[in-house]
Amino acid sequence: MVLGRGRGVGYYFISPREELANLSDGSPISSCSISWDSLAHSDSSTAESSSPRSPVPCRQPREDSLTTLQQFWPKTARSRVEVDVWGFVPMGASKPRTGPASNPRTWVPYPTKQRKAADVHLGVTLFRGTMAAAFLKKLEVEHEGGTLPDRWINNDIKPIESERRTWSSWTFTNYWILVNSNISTYMTGSSLIALGLSWWQAIIAIVIGNLLATAFVVLNSLPGAYYNIGFPVVNRYVWGLYGSQFVIWNRILLSIVWFGFQAYVGGQCVHVCLTAIWPSLEQRIPNHMAESTGITSAQFLSYVIFMVLSVPVVWIRPHKLRTFFHVSSSVILVFEFVLLIWALATMGPAGFGSTITAESSVPKGEMGWTIAFGIISTIGGISAGILNQNDYARFARRPRHAIIGQLFSFPLCAIVCSIIGVLVTAATQNRFGEPYWNLPELFLAIIESGGSRSRAAAFFAGFALIISQMGVNVPGNALSGGFDLAATFPKYINIRRGAYLTLLLSVACNPWKLVSTATVFLSVLSSYAVFLGPMTGLMISSWFVVNQRKIKIEDLYIGHKSSIYWCTMGVDWRALIAWLCGTVPSLPGFVAGVNENVTVPSGLVHFYQICFLAGFGISAAVYCGLHFIFPVRPIQDFVASAPAPDVLMREYREACDNGTQFKNEVINVDPMKIG
């Protein structure tokens, strides 16, 4: 709440907490009194010697401000303390204002030239008054939903109240139709057939992989479904208050890069629509892009159009996305089955191409490991979504809506879309002379070889694909990045700001260049399950074994040693060791997989081929073992004394819906309770 500057580099403002909590427009607080009644009175000489010699070193509003004051004002000090007063410039003002005499609604900086007596009352909040602080104040998120943003909480990362729990089972079904029915899922079969598997072996791997992924999605979404907290907050009880930042920043970087990649694919879909209208689009728009960029001017324009179309969708709050999900999922379902019917009906006597007829080229001794790698690759494609599924499960009206809505829709949508990809590619292969796994390339080939009807069909197909890419990119990447950035900087970033920041930063990745040249980088990105599998294992084992489904929600928002999840300096070292134990064994095979010049023993390669499952199991076992041998006593005591999980969950949900639990006990913590 600092709105000015003094003569020096900066000064400190001292203002009553109760007025601060009610201040929303940034105006100066009328009272400038500070004191606590427990201090003994003394004569002026004692006061003079006991007064502080330097400003109180406090940067932002602090919950332990009373403790800080007591360090500088000993208990022998009198209750009335002499403080200095000087003029200031409130934000938006053109002329400085001076002391209380000229304006009673003036901040009191300390120290400066004039003298004024001020009472010291219990429960104060300290600020540093600099121009930088004034600028940061301007950037603070709005005071919403009874939540005063601070370092650990804002309205977007606190437990979701009933008004925002709007997702039904159908909402989750439509969500997974969008996320799992996209071009990346459609192309899953191509990556598995490229390993040497036959089409039916690839489908077996796809089915098993998606069934396992469904189990991980449902299990890892339970904390969000029952306690209505998101992925960043869940990891505070897994890794510690500060340790959770490691996992969050991994997810932020993935969101930025994947948003850029999916936006580039979305730009290709826009290019299909524009080419369907103007077949000579590439000639109409002269190419001024260097060949090394891997993109033409027309394609770059298409990418920009897709980004612009995404902007209004990103604006929609997650709990209001139901209409978008319903409409978009309907369009995608119709498109997929029309595409399949068209491909099979127009296949002609040539029949299926080699995509279906080719036999497996994998040696018999390696067949099992190759199928296992195909299963892990299928899981790895959605591993980032598995990791942060709590971000969406917390919007469920009831926990069962998240469970049922995902249990059937997730595997069904992913398996059907992948099988359609195999069949359509095989049915069109002989017609066009090569297999087109990438749908935009298929429709560009249709435009090139057909007439006006083909162009019209390609336009509507491109439009459906644009919706599909928005459906996977906005909730899967933009909003995920928004959730995580909001949890990292809750005082300055909410979901909208974080989502738009993710969108803007994705441009800096040059996704068109990554797709065309950075093959090693893409290999690393697609193999990131090496790191995400152990993280998922930690989250699920912490929920079921260490915490036994009992979470002390208010302590997830207290960045202080009084929180039972503080562990060691805010970090749970057990999680770090367990994660390393699950990750390191897969790294040699991982390096060999992304760099053909590196050779490692076959055993390490095979371990890498099952990296997600192996990392998940090892990290979960080590984490539980370390917590058994070196328990965190506050967590252990809470789990032992707390009521049954169902009772505890119900109490927290009711408290959250009443709007009192997190407003009074978390945000405005009594300073006397913090020690």
pLDDT reported for residue 522:
55
- Domain stops at, among 77, 104, 139: 139
Q: Are 414 and 421 in contact (CB under 8 A)?
A: no
Residue 620, domain extent: 162-667
657 and 589 together in one domain: yes
In a domain, 155, yes or no: no
State how far the Cα of 367 lies from the Cα of 364, in Å rounded to an integer: 5
529 and 561 together in one domain: yes
In a domain, 148, yes or no: no
Question: Could you read off the pLDDT of 348-370 as tens digits, one per residue?
Answer: 787 888 888 888 888 888 899 99
In a domain, 371, yes or no: yes
CATH number of 360's domain: 1.10.4160.10
Q: How confident is the model at residue 46 (pLDDT cuts 50, 70, 90)?
A: very low
189 and 284 together in one domain: yes
DSSP string for residues in 422-445:
HHHHHHHHHHHSS---SHHHHHHH
Q: Are 223 and 235 in contact (CB under 8 A)?
A: no
If one compares 567 and 523, the residue with the highest pLDDT of the two is: 567
pLDDT reported for residue 313:
94
In a domain, 673, yes or no: no
Question: Could you read off the pLDDT of 72-95 as tens digits, one per residue?
Answer: 444 433 333 333 333 333 333 333
pLDDT reported for residue 655:
82
458 and 346 together in one domain: yes
101 and 186 together in one domain: no
pLDDT reported for residue 425:
92
In a domain, 153, yes or no: no
In a domain, 152, yes or no: no
Classify the C-alpha dihedral 634-637-641-646 as positive or negative: positive
211 and 112 together in one domain: no
Looking at mean pLDDT, say which of 105-114, 275-284, 440-449, 628-637 comes out highest.
628-637
pLDDT reported for residue 352:
87
352 and 238 together in one domain: yes
Average pLDDT over residues 663-672: 36
pLDDT reported for residue 551:
95
Of the candidates 490, 636, 528, which has an alpha carbon nearest to the alpha carbon of residue 574?
636
Q: How confident is the model at residue 541 (pLDDT cuts 50, 70, 90)?
A: very high
Q: Are 58 and 68 in contact (CB under 8 A)?
A: yes
104 and 180 together in one domain: no
pLDDT reported for residue 292:
77
Tell me the average pLDDT of the chain: 78
pLDDT reported for residue 13:
37
State how far the Cα of 220 lies from the Cα of 136, in Å rounded to an integer: 36
Q: How confident is the model at residue 149 (pLDDT cuts 50, 70, 90)?
A: low
pLDDT reported for residue 645:
93
In a domain, 491, yes or no: yes
Of the candidates 72, 538, 479, 459, which has an alpha carbon nearest to the alpha carbon of residue 258?
479
512 and 625 together in one domain: yes
Number of structural domains the chain divides into: 2
State how far the Cα of 412 lies from the Cα of 406, in Å rounded to an integer: 10
Question: Could you read off the pLDDT of 268-316 as tens digits, one per residue?
Answer: 999 999 999 999 888 888 888 887 777 899 999 999 999 999 999 999 9
pLDDT reported for residue 474:
93
In a domain, 649, yes or no: yes
pLDDT reported for residue 512:
82
pLDDT reported for residue 517:
56
123 and 198 together in one domain: no
State how far the Cα of 15 lies from the Cα of 20, in Å rounded to an integer: 7
Q: How confident is the model at residue 632 (pLDDT cuts 50, 70, 90)?
A: very high
Helix (H) or strand (E) holding 16: strand 11-16
205 and 113 together in one domain: no
184 and 256 together in one domain: yes
| pLDDT over 50 at 99, yes or no | no
Cβ neighbours of 274 (radius 10 Å):
20
The beta strand positions in 266-363, using DSSP E, are none
Question: Could you read off the pLDDT of 463-514 as tens digits, one per residue?
Answer: 999 999 999 999 989 999 999 999 999 888 999 999 999 999 999 888 887 7
Residue 349 one-letter amino acid: P
State how far the Cα of 283 lies from the Cα of 116, in Å rounded to an integer: 76
Question: Residues near 363 by Cβ (< 8 Å), separated by ≥ 6?
Answer: none
pLDDT reported for residue 523:
66
Question: Could you read off the pLDDT of 220-240 as tens digits, one per residue?
Answer: 999 999 999 999 999 999 999
